[in-house]
């Protein structure tokens, strides 16, 4: 829930409002302190623009999920992007990422 919320650029307060709960409740859902009922999970999935199955992808019974270094970097990038002070800065970061990706595609990156 947290990763998807961050990817969409939503604060916990905005998420709470979208799903009709208090900020504290949304925080507890994200931290795993409170369980999420099936109906609420559906509401959360709808608010985040995903299917309910999104929350179960990659589950194979392993409870000690550890994100890969790339997943951690992606989450950090999303957090930093959201906290940039202006849209101009966000667009500059997108342009930089696009240029780096294009350089990699062209074989220019080392």
Work out the burial of residue 55: count CB atoms within 10 Å of its CB; fewer than 13 is exposed, 13-18 middle, 19 or more buried.
middle
Work out the burial of residue 34: count CB atoms within 10 Å of its CB; fewer than 13 is exposed, 13-18 middle, 19 or more buried.
middle
Q: What is the DSSP string of 51-85?
A: -GGGGGTT-SS-------HHHHHHHHHHHHHHT-S
pLDDT for 68: 85
pLDDT for 61: 56
Helix (H, G, I), strand (E, B) or coil at 90: helix
Chunk the chain into consecutive blocks of 10 residues (it has 110) and report each block's average pLDDT, rounded to whole numbers. 91 95 94 92 94 81 71 85 89 91 70
């Amino acid at each position: 829930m947290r990763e998807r919320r961050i990817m969409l650029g939503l604060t916990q307060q905005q998420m709470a409002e979208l799903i009709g709960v208090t900020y504290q409740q949304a925080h507890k859902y994200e931290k795993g302190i409170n369980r999420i009922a099936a109906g609420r999970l559906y509401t959360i999935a709808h608010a985040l623009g995903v299917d309910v199955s999104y929350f179960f992808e990659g589950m194979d019974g392993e409870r000690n999920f550890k994100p890969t270094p790339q997943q951690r970097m992606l989450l950090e990038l999303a957090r930093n992007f959201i906290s940039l002070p202006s849209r101009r800065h966000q667009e500059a970061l997108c342009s930089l990422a696009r240029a780096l990706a294009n350089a990699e595609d062209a074989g220019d990156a080392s």
